[in-house]
Structure 1
């Protein structure tokens, strides 16, 4: 029995490899990641990179209301970190419902505001406090007002917060009993 298929571009990667920027959606999403990790995305209007009705789905399955609430909900996931880096490991991009969907896997490196030993190493050799494995689904649409002609319409995050919470407990940032409130 044959199954209906669609064309997809997929690749394993070691971070933001130049070869992957040939695909216009990946080029936009790598620019999105770099602007979030190192740029001014957090201080400019969310609509620069995202549609007005951008929707964020948290790792626990909660779908936040579209727009500003989803944008703020995504940012809340990073409030405990002084800096972070998303290091892509796998990407798969395909057309869907008149737009593009990208499924990706990344290592998310983070530093905490409380000092401690940095034991996690990214591909460039830099040491970090935490590494969290994560997966993302981005739905992108063409939009001439967006960087590189695209904007993110929705994003779903799948992540294991245990490494981050364990390190925050170890450094006294969170008490175990606070987790059950």
Structure 2
């Protein structure tokens, strides 16, 4: 049995002491800043796959990357704040697997004056807070770490309801 890192809370010196978790922190911070082209070119494996909450699994490569980044397109700004992370090396030593939960804080287009306010650990205020689960597979490639796959589980309901309230979406956009 291989050891695993179990961590509760946001990024800190404990997560930074583990190579895969330090990489995960950098990846997450770049993703939150929408440095997406740089991430794709330097952090994502060529055969990367994405599985979303609906159960849909996208074809490997750029199509999967476009799908995962597309799921964030309606947010004007967002931030992932982890609150539980578990990381272990794969049995064959070729990489790591990471299972984590994070709050996804976000703001949306349209008039949000009536939106409930949520604060992250830094004190910043947000219009949306969604609990989300993430399962990452990282692979060691030529002395580097690459993201091989991501599976995300989250409830899009609060986002859809708020977008409908703001008039950004219409029921017909949902096929209703």
**Same-fold status (TM-score > 0.5):** yes
**Superposition deviation, residue 115 in structure 1:** 2.6
**Superposition deviation, residue 154 in structure 1:** 0.6
Equivalent residue number for residue 27 of structure 2: 32
Unmatched 5+ stretches in structure 2: none
1:1-181 matches, cutoff 5 A: 5-13=1-9, 15-38=10-33, 40=35, 42-44=36-38, 46-96=40-90, 97=92, 98-117=94-113, 119-144=117-142, 149-180=144-175
Question: SS of the counterpart of 1:27?
Answer: helix
Question: SS of the counterpart of 2:121?
Answer: coil
Instruction: Output the TM-score relative to the length of structure 1.
Output: 0.88
- The RMSD of aligned alpha carbons is 1.7
Query: Which string of whole-angstrom CA distances, capped at 9 and with x for unpartnered residues, describes residues 91-124 of structure 1?
Result: 0001224320000100001111213135111111
Query: Which string of whole-angstrom CA distances, capped at 9 and with x for unpartnered residues, describes residues 36-79 of structure 1?
Result: 11252x13361311111111111111110010000000011011
Q: How many residues align?
A: 172
